[in-house]
Amino acid sequence: MSALDVRAFTVGPVQENSYIVRAHGDATAAVIVDPGDEPARLLAAAEALGAEIEAILVTHCHFDHIGAVAPVARATGAPVYCPGIERPVLADVMRWVPPGFGPFENYEADHTLVGGERLNLAGIDFEVIFTPGHSPGHVTYATNGALLSGDVLFQGSVGRVDLPGGDWATLERSIAGLLDAFPADTVVYPGHMGVTTLGRELDTNPFLSERRVRDPRVAAADSPAAGR
Ligand SMILES: [Fe+2]
């Protein structure tokens, strides 16, 4: 049973989920994933938990996921981990923000990621997985029965692929990679909407219907031989 303590804060006009993650409920160290907006609220939440933010993890650099990176980094001194391909976006945020949003501050990432890294931050082991398709450099952070997966997979939906660098076939491969690598009860903490599991999405997500037909776990459950 995972002791991981994950707190969700839905922030900003696009209702993005920022997560404060600790190794357990009494831990005094935390990481924050995708601080998208409302930095004062996120910092106050960490303080209320008695947790110091030791690292800032970014899944991808759409503005709704990075709007509070600079102020949270400044307030905490925590290093920022960002997909390498998207580092220039974080460093020049407003160039990519549609009219009516922001302003957001630029930030030069302290560490860049390509996927395949293993990080130990705030006493938590994270595996970094390259999951492009929604955006070109998107990464997912996997730890202890949980995925912090940004805009890859949602409850009943998937990340949009019509923004620059988006591609459906690529996203589909990224989702398939997660389904292959992690068990069905893996908890998915997505960048928007509610928490789900890989198994629930494999069973019910309309965007995964083709995958459902091919997945041996589902095929076994559907087969007339099941229940023997
Ligand atoms: Fe996004």
**pLDDT tens for the chain, residues 1 to 228:** 459 999 999 999 999 999 999 999 999 999 999 999 999 999 999 999 999 999 999 999 999 999 999 999 999 999 999 999 999 999 999 999 999 999 999 999 999 999 999 999 999 999 999 999 999 999 999 998 999 999 999 999 999 999 999 999 999 999 999 999 999 999 999 999 999 999 999 999 999 998 887 777 765 655 544 444
> What is the Å distance from ligand 1's center to 222 Cα?
34
What is the whole-number distance in angstroms between the Cα of residue 183 and the centre of ligand 1? Answer: 25
CA of 159 to the centre of ligand 1 (A): 7
Helix (H, G, I), strand (E, B) or coil at 61: coil
Give me ligand 1 centre to Cα 166, in Å: 10
Ligand 1 centroid distance, CA of 224 (Å): 41
**Of 195, 170, 193, 191, the residue nearest 63 (C-alpha):** 191
In whole angstroms, give the CA distance from residue 183 to residue 198. Answer: 7
For residue 1, how far is its CA from the centre of ligand 1 (angstroms)?
30
Displacement of CA 81 from its chain's centroid (Å) = 12
Gap from CA of 42 to ligand 1 centroid (Å) = 19
Q: Which is it for strands 111-113 and 80-83: parallel, antiparallel or unpaired?
A: parallel
Contact partners, residue 193, CB within 8 Å, separation at least 6: 17, 154, 155, 157
